[in-house]
Amino acid sequence: MRKKITGSMLLILLCLLISSCATTSKFSSESLNIGMTKEEVIAKFGKPYKSAFSQDKETGVIEETLFYREFLYISRNSNITNILSFKAGKLTSLKQGQESDSATRTTIINTPPSTIVQTSN
């Protein structure tokens, strides 16, 4: 009986130890809501490291994108880029991934029907 209790306690301790190593993103559906304003997001998470915008030439709608980096430990160390998109000043999507490093600080891409400008803050 004593061996079962000791074995169970070791198993529980091992599970807690393994699960405590992983980190979770602060950018999630629990911390963000579709429709939040850009100002609300910046107030909550701080200034992004990079931003971009584009304007549809036909409709005139402006789409802004904020880029936030965070370091997560999942199965190995990872730098995750959180990409938050806004249309008319309201949050429309969150995407996560890894961004390739670039030597240039600003990228301007002219693609009809919109113009995209990316700048590092």
Distance CA 69, CA 8 (A): 39
The CA distance from 19 to 112, in Å, is: 47
| 13 domain residue, yes or no | no
The answer to whether residue 61 sits within a structural domain is yes
Name the band, by pLDDT with cuts 50, 70 and 90, for residue 112.
Answer: very low
Q: Tell me, yes or no, whether 101 lies in a domain.
A: yes
Confirm whether 6 is domain-assigned.
no
Confidence at residue 75, expressed as pLDDT on a 0 to 100 scale: 61
Whether residue 24 is predicted with pLDDT greater than 90 in this model: the reply is: no
Structural domain for 63, as ranges: 25-120
Whether the per-residue pLDDT at 48 is higher than 90: the answer is yes
- When mean pLDDT is compared over 3-7, 48-52, 69-73, the highest value belongs to 48-52
Instruction: Give a yes or no: residue 17 inside a domain.
Output: no
Mean pLDDT taken over the chain: 74
What percentage of the chain exceeds 70 in pLDDT?
Answer: 60
Q: What is the pLDDT of residues 97-111, one digit of tens each?
A: 766 555 434 333 333
Share of the chain above pLDDT 90, in %: 26
User: 4-8, 11-15, 34-38, 81-85 — which is least confidently predicted?
Assistant: 11-15
Question: Within 10 Å of residue 38's Cβ, how many Cβ atoms?
Answer: 16
Q: Go through 40-72 and write b for each residue having 16 or more CB atoms within 10 A of its CB, e for each that does not.
A: ebeeebeebebbbbbbeeeeeeebbbbbbeeee
Per-residue DSSP letter, 85:
E
Query: Residues 68-81: pLDDT tens digits?
Result: 988 776 666 677 88
User: Can you give the CATH number for the domain in which 104 is found?
Assistant: 3.30.1450
How many domains, in total, are found in the chain?
A: 1
Residue 33 belongs to some domain of the structure: yes
Per-residue tokens: 121: 């803050």
